[in-house]
Structure 1
Amino acid sequence: MPQKNNHRRRFRLPRPASWRGLFVKLAIAGLVPLLVFFAYCDAKVRGAFDPQRYDQPAKVYARPLVLASGAVLTSYELEEELRNLGYRQLRLVNEPGSYLRQGDTFTIYLRPFDFADGHRKAKKITVEMAATTVRVVRNALGERIAEEQLDPTVIGGVYPGRHEDRLMLSLDEVPEMLVETLLQVEDRHFYSHFGLSPRSIARALIVNIKAGRTVQGGSTLTQQLVKNTLLTNERSLWRKFKEAAMSLLTELHYSKDRILEAYINEVYLGQEGNRAIHGFGLAARHYFNRPLQELDLAQVSMLVGLVKGPSYYDPWRHPQRATSRRNTVLAELAEEGWLNAEQLEAWKKEPLSLSKSSALAGVYPAYVDLVRRQLSRDYARQDLQKKGLRIFTPFDPLLQRRAEAATAKALSQLAERKKDLQVAMVVTAVDSGDVVAVIGGRQPRYAGFNRALDALRPIGSLAKPAVYLTALNQPDKYTLLTKLRDEPLSVPNADGTLWRPSNYGRKAHGMVPLHKALSHSYNLATANLGLDLGLSDVMDMFQRLGVHRPLLEVPSMLLGAAELAPIEVAAMYQTIAADGRYTPLRTIYAVSDARGKPLARYPQQPKQVIDAAPVHLLQYAMLETVREGTGKSVYRVLPKDYRVAGKTGTSNDTRDSWFAGFAGDYLAVVWMGLDNNASTGLTGASGALRVWRQFMAEASTEQMPFAQRSNMEYLWVDAESGLRTQSWCENARYVPFIKGSEPQQSGGCAPDGEKMWNWFKGIFD
């Protein structure tokens, strides 16, 4: 039997030629995935920083404030507008965005702006103010000019899914002061490295070791740009490796200036609700409401300081942190010899000078929501999110602030009764149908459920003017003095039940004149009248007034069972306020592209849908509503001689409180209620009317016109009998009639010498 060989085979080293082959194979095996990795990184980097890549959301602008002789405006309001636009008061007005007030005379250096009708160059004007109006406007040569307008402010936009926003700038538009400060603080060797800076990494490592924590980073601007644009926030060596590779490739494909420009437009610098603020151009507007070119050194230093941590150094939430970080940036500039010790201390004492009280102070989501919906009819969402369209609206920030103040005051007064009470409000300009202010809830600066547009609630007695106008449109049958039956009634419903309305006070009043039935909001008189007229005719009147939502043709609609949103009620009452002229409510009057080229205009085309004469009679009854009827608490705030018209509305079980009314300049509709549809315990007079009267007292400057019309005749009549009488007689009322419908018979009031004398004396007094 052969003996086993128990010794182990010796391991032989490969020959040199074999070593070379092995290394080649290993090199190839490692090089292929490396090449694939770099190819992947290269594909990601190419085109990543081209300007066309960035979404440019449509910007929504408020109305420009027009300065013209005779325009209603106080010196306080003009200065408030200038401050809200970020204009600085300087002793020497020598640059755009500055002004000087001397008493009631303003010298203003207007910024350049691309309006809907063309470009306006920067120019200097002088505005001389009277007590409550603009007296005269002059150009730089002192010559009188017809008018000029301030640049409008951005109130919102239509953002892409990422909710990012930026204001694109070329490097030539960026102030040298910002560039130098940014490079000094974030990347001193930007123009000498190739995307990675070993020197910066080593310096940061030493500083962090000394501090015992991470206080300084070693990333270059290129690395920051790559990380923010192409990578996630994951913390791993693999992500850092990709960042390094992409940074090198970015430097290969783009010039230093192009990388710096991309960084300036891309860097994240704050948050406004769910809207991310990217780039220094938009950040300057966001924090200071000024173009980047108008910022001073302290403001630029604050923005550069935010790069380190926009949330941590948020100047609204953490002003001390923001100030400390800004001063650190200023100190670094002083270390480089840009500032001496005296200058440094002076700049450190500067306040933050933020343009508003919070990040959301200049945000108007309810109004922008309405604009967005109207835009969607004419523009694709992708165009609105990416093409930088400029949307010009009639939105008035001054009126919006007054509306918000009025709602806040009313809600605070009612807080003990209902803490979670909600409110919605729509304000329009009577002469144009322009929507000038919108409130969507008790927190108007926060986006969410927009009650002004989407809260469908029973409108209660706000429906009654449509019933009475249907009657007054038949002057051969109805006048303001026609007697109506305010008596109980019972009407079968389709389901076999009975509809039995009642008055608010559970009391019937018998035969009452039409004007009193409306001004005192008698349900029984209204229901009897509506049934006499016919439901189909009343429903037709709703449509003519501007209510396009289909309404059920049932008796309860006569008393406001119709569920409408405040914006729909505003459309209806706008037609009444405009003497029967229907005009679709407008929130956009022009659209231009990113370069200012006009794309579309939205002119108003009013249509007379109801003769002005019966509307005039309805307005008379609505004037009486606030003088003598359910809305008379209006004059607890408004001057007694200020003419306004309105109507209260209350739904069943006081779930909804409404008031709609108008002066000569503005119409406002207010709703109050609870989101869970529970009872508020508030009538239209005790709830919504509080907001309306406070707003009108502060916003309206033109009372309702009520001139006698050519086809109408005003007569003194006895309020009870409806017969002609004399002004000095008991129960005399001066009432309008459409010619041909006036009473022919006179009452029995004989001339009374003393009463006549008192009447004439009252006229001349």
Structure 2
Amino acid sequence: MARRKPRTLRIALASTLLVAASVGLVFLSAYLLRLDREIRERFAGARWALPAQVYAAPMEIYTGLELSPTELVHELNRLGYREDPHLAGPGSFVPSRSQIDIHVREFAFWDGPQPAQTLAVRFGGERIASIARIGDGAPVDIFRLDPMLIGSISPSHGEDRVLVRIDEVPQLLIDGLVAVEDRQFYSHFGVSPRAILRAMLANLRAGRVVQGGSTITQQLVKNFFLNNRQTWARKINEAFMALLIERHYDKDEILEAYLNEVHLGQDGSRAVHGFGLGARFYFNKPLAELEPQEIALLVGLIKGPSFYNPRRHAERALARRNLVLEVFLADGLIDEAAYRRALAQPLGVDGGRSGGAERYPAFVDLVKRQLRGQYDEADLTNEGLRIFTTLNPRVQEALERRIVEGLAEIERTRKIKPQTLQAAGVITSADGGEVLALVAGREVRFAGFNRALDAQRPIGSLVKPFVYLTALERPGEFNLYSILPDEPIELRLPHGALWAPRNYDRQLHGPQPLYRALAQSYNLPTVYTGLRVGAEQVLRTIRRAGYEGDAQALPSLFLGAIGMSPLQVAQIYGTLAAGGFQAPLSAIREVQTKDGEPLSRYPIAVRQTLPDGPVYLIGWGMQRVVSEGTGRGVYAALPGHAIVAGKTGTTDDYRDSWFAGFSADRVAVIWVGRDDNQPTGLSGASGALPIWARVMRDIGVRNFDPIPPASVELLRVDRLTGLLADGGCSDTLEIPFMAGWGPQEWAPCAYGGEQSAPLRWLREIFGD
């Protein structure tokens, strides 16, 4: 009996092990089934959250366009076009003094696709003389450059990518990626035993996980499902999932997923994923146009996007790129000549991050806000929508440059501590309310507080045109030459306080014509006028111009005690620029699905909310602000023949400096101040105005010279009396009046005056 015990124990132990193995197999099977279901669910259908892609307005090029060769080359460089004497492919150009040949990229615009084509653009001075197709010489009336990708609307976890199909990927990238990251990719079944053994030996020697030995499939699993923690459990999980992926998907599908998922860097708060966005983020060009050295850098970044960041660690990145190029050469992917050419090239990384998601964060913020009233968050961050916007990169560039340079210059000349001042600016079209440019602060790439949209600052004297506009809507009481008192005013407010406004210069100037009170921005005549017409009516006028805030109808409104953002100011001034026609400001032209199907169009919606006659009169008065009043410094920057209209704005204790105005085609608003609301010592004329004027010069605005509406007549008056004048008067002014409401009597100096009866008789016989 004693001899049977060991055998019994062995049988019991074997049974226990068999049961344990069976149980383990059941748990392993259940675990693998769960992993398998998770993998298939994630890889089926939409595998990624695809951010909405946001595009700037494309540049339209046509015969007769005022554009110099230098300006066109600048635009091509901005879009990532490269000089190539052979025009070998889309995205290349050949410049000369009077002609630029361009291989234009294809692009699916909202109104139809434009194919890739090679064009010769000929210049006559600073203007395009002709456009013709290279090859057959056929004339081309107009074409568009592909629009700049200016940003995206990413999900909360901050991933961003531009999805690419494997057939859109350069073969050198595919072959080079396999050569550097996973030589056995096309032969293994998800894991590489040889690589695992090599990594295991290294890890045992180190006593911890120091080497991965991961295949491309395992890297995809790690990026797509797991985290970066180097633990045995995670590595085992990774291996199982890699095996399951290889069971369900072929090699091209796995590689395509990897090409779109791999992490290649960080753009502010957004992670740059995939080679599609990597090409734009680092080189500002589509993936298909990358050259060997650029492909090598992207492949090299996989090993450590932060460690080899070419913008921060250029030498390190260059060494890594060159090492990858050696692999390309050794594997026969490039020949010796191509290797030498690539090795001689600089990193070539775009310094301004032109392709990154944070290129124009303040403008993209406006786009998001206008979209979120119509689309769910999930649609904007997951469905790959294509958003075509109104942003004009040339206007945006000018606004950014002038704000950054202007603030530094003001601080230097005024001996203000550097980086103390802030600014915001908005430029819109005058006729359709399209937002062309928007800057939220001097750090133009910083996606922080959006001063252009959210800074509610008192607008000061920017409100005065609306006070006087309200008065001019009563032609029986007011016209541009109505004499207004410039006298002290004391007013007891409802809460009991005494309000005693003063002029900006603390002086009294005597009776003033209305237009001059506006031009010189005198406070007391403005308050007098406002009290005559009523605060409720003034606020109603501002609302008809497009203001939607909750300001109160108090007397302090007449001097600008109403908070607005620069965008809100652009809205109400845009209505003045458009002759009383209000168009809600919009940053969006069209929204499409990722496949190019239209979802929403944003046509211009214009309605007349202010009468054209009084608006014409106030526009004339605002021209006088610039020509002879507080805004006359504009012409220190603008050419002398330019005609614009505008208004300075300064708030109490010089806390806010404003200038708002317009030409025939552009409305621009600039605010300068401090975030802590401390005084700056700057008036509207000394702070915001120089920036405004230089921007308007840079963008080449058209003269503001509107045709008087039928309700307006132009009359010549004597400046001394405000009565009708003719050649007998030496100091006259042609001034608009509402028809039938101008002066009816002749000034004494006129041929028709009371002191010139013989001349009046001759006038009646022979006319003027």
Question: What is the TM-score normalised by the length of structure 1?
Answer: 0.93
Q: Is the 8 A contact 2:270 2:357 kept in 1?
A: no
Q: Counterparts of 2:70 and 2:206 in 1: how far apart (Å)?
A: 52
> What SS does the aligned partner of 2:402 have?
helix
Question: 2:588 aligns to what SS in structure 1?
Answer: coil
For 2:362, the equivalent position in structure 1 comes to 366
State the superposition RMSD in angstroms.
2.4
Counterpart selection for 1:153 from 140, 148, 152: 148
Contact 1:203/1:218 (<8 A) preserved: yes
Residue identity in the other structure for 1:132: E
Distance 1:26 1:94, change over 3 A: closer
2:678 aligns to what SS in structure 1? Answer: coil
Inter-partner Cα distance in structure 2 for 1:727 and 1:643: 26
Query: In 1, distance between residues paired with 2:44 and 2:166?
Result: 13
* Equivalent of 1:296 in 275, 288, 291: 291
Cα distance per residue 1:141-173 (max 9 Å; x no partner): 323333111110111121111111112222222
How many residue pairs get matched? 743
Contact 2:457 2:656 in 1 (8 A): yes
Tell me which moved more, 325-334 or 216-225: 216-225
Distance across 1 between alignment mates of 2:22 and 2:576: 84
- Decide which moves more: 394-403 or 634-643: 634-643
SS of corresponding position for 1:391: strand
Instruction: List aligned pairs for 1:27-46, cutoff 5 A.
Output: 27-46=21-40
Read off the aligned partner of 2:216 and give its amino acid letter: L
User: 1:53 — aligned with what?
Assistant: 47
Closer, same or farther: CA 11–623 of 1 in aligned 2, 3 Å: farther
Q: Which residue of 2 aligns with 1:247?
A: 242
Say whether residues 1:167 and 2:167 are aligned partners: no
The Cα of 1:710 is off from its aligned counterpart by 4.4
Give the counterpart letter for 1:57 in structure 2.
P
For structure 2, list consecutive stretches of 5 or more residues without a partner in the other structure: 752-768
| Residue 85 (structure 1) aligned with residue 79 (structure 2) | yes
Residues 724 and 743, structure 1, Cα contact 8 Å, conserved in 2? yes
**Which residue is equivalent to 1:761?**
none
CA distance in 2, matches of 1:96, 1:210: 52
Question: Which stretches in structure 1 are left out of the alignment for 5+ residues?
Answer: 1-8, 752-765
1:129 maps to 123
SS at match of 2:167: helix
Distance across 2 between alignment mates of 1:734 and 1:132: 36
Q: How much has 1:657 moved relative to structure 2?
A: 0.8
- Does residue 1:187 correspond to 2:211, yes or no? no
Deviation of the 1:70 alpha carbon = 2.3
- Give, in whole Å, the separation in 2 of the partners of 1:412 and 1:132: 32
Q: Report what 1:579 is aligned to.
A: 579
> How far, CA to CA, are the matches of 1:558 and 1:19 in structure 2?
97
How far apart, CA to CA, are the structure 2 residues paired with 1:523 and 1:181?
72
How far residue 682 of structure 1 moved from its aligned partner, in angstroms, is 1.0
Residue 269 of structure 2 corresponds to residue 270 of structure 1: no
Q: Which runs of structure 2 are paired with 1:537-556 in the superposition (5 Å)?
A: 537-556=537-556
Query: 1:13 is aligned with what amino acid?
Result: P
Query: How far did residue 83 of structure 1 move?
Result: 1.2
Pair 1:401-2:397 in alignment: yes
CA-CA distance at 1:10 after TM superposition: 12
Question: 1:120 maps to what in 2?
Answer: 114
Quick one: which amino acid aligns to residue 504 of structure 1?
Y
Does the 8 A contact of 1:659 with 1:669 survive in 2?
yes
Moved more, 59-68 or 417-426: 417-426
Show the counterpart of 1:74: 68
**In the alignment, is the contact (CA less than 8 A) between 2:724 and 2:750 conserved in 1?**
no
My pick for the range that moved more, 422-431 or 244-253, is: 244-253
Specify the alignment match of 1:648 in structure 2.
Answer: 648
Does 1:385 pair with 2:381?
Answer: yes
1:608 aligns with 2:608: yes
SS in 1 for 2:146: coil
2:435 matched residue in structure 1:
435
| Separation in structure 2 between the aligned mates of residue 51 and residue 77 of structure 1, nearest angstrom | 45
Equivalent residues of 1:356, 1:362 under 8 A apart = no
Give the partner amino acid of 1:375. L
Distance 1:175 1:216, change over 3 A: farther
> 2:671 aligns to what?
671
Task: Write the distance in 1 (CA, Å) between the matches of 2:514 and 2:82.
Answer: 58
Give the Cα separation in 2 of the matches to 1:747 and 1:23. Answer: 120
* 8 Å CA contact 1:61, 1:390 repeated in 2: yes
| Inter-partner Cα distance in structure 1 for 2:728 and 2:296 | 76
Provide the residue aligned with 1:307 in structure 2: 302
Tell me the residue number matched to 2:105: 111
Query: Helix, strand or coil: the match of 1:22?
Result: helix
Contact preservation (8 Å) 1:96, 1:111: yes
**Is 1:345 aligned with 2:302?**
no
Instruction: Give the SS at the match of 2:734.
Output: strand
* Distance (Å, rounded) in 2 between the aligned partners of 1:127 and 1:200: 56
Query: Equivalents in 1 of 2:119, 2:526: separation in Å?
Result: 57
Task: Provide Cα deviations, 1:211-255, integer angstroms capped at 9, x if missing partner.
Answer: 999997521101111111111122211111111121122222221
What secondary structure does 1:53 align onto? Answer: coil
Q: Does 1:13 align with 2:1?
A: no
The answer as to whether partners of 1:97 and 1:111 remain within 8 angstroms in 2 is: yes
Task: Supply the distance in 1 between the matched residues of 2:281 and 2:472 (Cα, whole angstroms).
Answer: 53
**1:762 — aligned with what?**
none
Please give the alpha-carbon distance, in whole angstroms, between the structure 2 residues aligned to 1:264 and 1:47. 20
SS at match of 1:442: coil
Q: Which whole-Å deviations, capped at 9, do the CAs of 1:521-546 have from their partners, x for residues lacking one? A: 01110001011112222111111111
| In the alignment, structure 1 residue 261 sits paired with structure 2 residue 256 | yes
Cα deviation for residue 478 of structure 1 reads: 1.3
Maintained 8 Å contact 1:665/1:700: no
- TM-score, normalised via structure 2 length: 0.93
Give the secondary structure class of the aligned counterpart of 2:485: strand
Match status 1:412 vs 2:420? no
Match of 2:276 among 262, 281, 306: 281
* Preserved CA contact (<8 Å) 1:41 1:242: no
- Write the distance in 1 (CA, Å) between the matches of 2:247 and 2:429: 58
Relative to structure 2, which stretch is displaced further, 16-25 or 233-242?
16-25
Deviates more, 1:583-592 or 1:447-456: 583-592
Does the CA-based 8 Å contact 2:55-2:388 persist in structure 1? yes
Q: Secondary structure at the match of 1:46?
A: helix
Asked if structure 1 preserves the Cα contact closer than 8 Å seen for 2:727 and 2:750, the reply is: no
1:101 aligns with 2:100: no
Number of the residue aligned with 2:765: none
State the 1:612 CA deviation.
1.9
2:507 and 2:714 mapped to 1: Cα distance? 32
Relative to structure 1, the CA distance from residue 477 to residue 341 in structure 2 (aligned partners, 3 Å threshold; closer, same or farther) is same
Separation (CA, whole Å) in 2 of partners of 1:212 and 1:295: 42
Q: How far apart, CA to CA, are the structure 1 residues paired with 2:641 and 2:335?
A: 64
Question: Displacement of 1:57 after TM fit?
Answer: 1.2
Matched-pair contact (CA < 8 Å) for 1:723–1:743: yes
Describe the SS at the equivalent of 1:486: coil
Supply the distance in 2 between the matched residues of 1:581 and 1:135 (Cα, whole angstroms): 35
Shift of 1:368: 0.7
Instruction: Give 1:759's aligned residue.
Output: none
Match of 1:325 among 311, 320, 343: 320
Deviation of 1:14 (Å):
4.3
- SS of structure 2 residue aligned to 1:91: coil
Range that drifts further, 270-279 or 706-715: 706-715
Secondary structure of the corresponding residue to residue 670 of structure 1: strand
Deviations 1:85-140 (A, max 9, x none): 11122112242222222322222222121111122222222222233332222234
CA contact (8 A) 1:469 1:614 kept: yes
Decide whether the 8 Å contact of 1:70 with 1:133 is kept in 2. yes
Q: 1:257 to 1:209 in 2, by over 3 A?
A: same
Match for residue 5 of structure 1? Answer: none
Asked if structure 2 preserves the Cα contact closer than 8 Å seen for 1:480 and 1:513, the reply is yes
Is structure 2 residue 598 aligned with structure 1 residue 598?
Answer: yes
Alpha-carbon deviations, 1:21-57, whole Å to 9, x = none? 2321232343333333323332332233345121111
2:311 counterpart residue number: 316
Q: 1:211 to 1:10 in 2, by over 3 A?
A: closer
Shift of 1:377: 1.5
- 5 Å matches for 1:364-763? 364-415=360-411, 416-418=415-417, 419-726=419-726, 729-749=729-749
In 2: Cα distance, 1:628 partner to 1:574 partner: 23
> How far 1:340 sits from its partner (Å)?
4.7
Identity of aligned residues (%): 44
SS at match of 1:618: helix
CA 1:11–1:407: 2 relative to 1, 3 Å: farther
